């Protein structure tokens, strides 16, 4: 079974989290929802609260995971200032794992130099010089990096994440279940 590590903190964009998590759940892809907040109750950008969120720790075993996923939202500033989050991203990158970020979250990759010479997308107004090639598209895949542009593309982004984790047969089953044509 495939497994994803998810990182959020106060101010995450709930649709950008739930779109991909829905695709994971439909596909039997497991995930660990973690936070750097000092609480297990994490409040989204629109005041929805997720309970029982696990703390992100320094001793994450990246070998247990196939992908790192970070949704966007105002929490990107908190995540960008976290050494723990930066080190976790770099551990996944060094291990050659898939990394998916949507909306504001690709900035985390850009600030770490991981988007240099890569195609990517992010929330258009937040695009800054990240050393790569910004694409005005809903979802962009370049190697192990999967980036999404905004809330609007959350389901499409989630489908793309699942596609990279599933066998062809299981991905076709997911597409049939959600009526992807």
Residue 46 placed within a domain = yes
Q: Give residue 62's pLDDT.
A: 97
Which CATH number is 139's domain given?
3.40.50.880
Separation CA 109–CA 91 (nearest Å): 12
pLDDT of residue 142: 98
- What is the per-residue pLDDT across 56-72, written as a single tens digit (0 to 9) for each? 999 999 999 999 999 99
User: Considering the domain boundaries, does residue 87 fall inside one?
Assistant: yes
In this prediction, residue 131 carries a pLDDT of 87
pLDDT for 74-97, tens place per residue?
Answer: 999 999 999 999 999 999 999 999
Answer positive or negative: Cα dihedral of 141, 35, 49, 124: negative
pLDDT of residue 13: 98
pTM: 0.97
What range defines the domain where residue 150 resides? 3-98+125-177
Q: Is residue 7 part of a domain?
A: yes
What's the pLDDT score for residue 128?
82
Please, what is the average pLDDT of the chain? 97
Residue 111 lies in a domain: no
CA-angle at 49, arms to 47 and 53, nearest 5°: 145
Sole residue written with tokens 């962009």: 140
- What domain count does the chain have? 1
Give the three-state DSSP class for 149.
Answer: coil
Q: Is residue 133 part of a domain?
A: yes
Identify the pLDDT of residue 181: 79
- One digit per residue, the tens of pLDDT, for the chain of length 181 reads 999 999 999 999 999 999 999 999 999 999 999 999 999 999 999 999 999 999 999 999 999 999 999 999 999 999 999 999 999 999 999 999 999 999 999 999 999 999 999 999 999 998 888 889 999 999 999 999 999 999 999 999 999 999 999 999 999 999 999 998 7
- Give how far Cα 139 sits from Cα of 53, 62, 93, Å: 27, 25, 20
- The answer for residues whose C-beta is within 8 angstroms of residue 42's C-beta and 6 or more apart is 8, 9, 10, 12, 35, 49, 50, 53
Residue 113 covered by a domain? no
Q: What is the pLDDT of residue 60?
A: 94
| 94 part of a folded domain | yes
* DSSP sequence for 106-128: HHHHHHTTTTTT-EE---GGG--
Q: Which residues contact 116 (CB under 8 A, 6 or more apart)?
A: 130, 131, 132
What does the pLDDT read at residue 97?
A: 98
pLDDT of residue 129: 80
Q: Is residue 118 part of a domain?
A: no
């Amino acid at each position: 079974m495939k497994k994803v590590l998810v990182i959020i903190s106060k101010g995450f964009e709930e649709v950008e989290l739930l779109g991909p998590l829905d695709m994971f759940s439909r596909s039997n892809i497991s995930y660990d929802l973690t936070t750097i907040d000092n609480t297990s109750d994490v409040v989204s950008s629109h005041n929805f609260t997720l309970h029982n969120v696990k703390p992100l720790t320094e001793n994450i075993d990246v070998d247990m995971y196939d992908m790192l996923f970070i949704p966007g939202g105002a929490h990107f500033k908190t995540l960008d200032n976290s050494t723990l989050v930066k080190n976790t991203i770099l551990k996944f990158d060094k291990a050659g794992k898939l990394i998916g970020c949507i909306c504001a979250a690709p900035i985390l990759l850009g600030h770490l130099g991981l988007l240099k010479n890569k195609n990517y997308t992010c929330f258009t107004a937040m695009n800054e010089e990240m050393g790569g090639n910004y694409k005005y598209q809903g979802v962009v895949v370049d190697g192990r990096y999967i980036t999404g542009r905004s809330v609007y593309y959350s389901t499409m982004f989630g489908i793309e994440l699942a596609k990279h984790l599933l066998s062809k047969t299981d991905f076709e089953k997911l597409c049939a279940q959600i009526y992807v044509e």
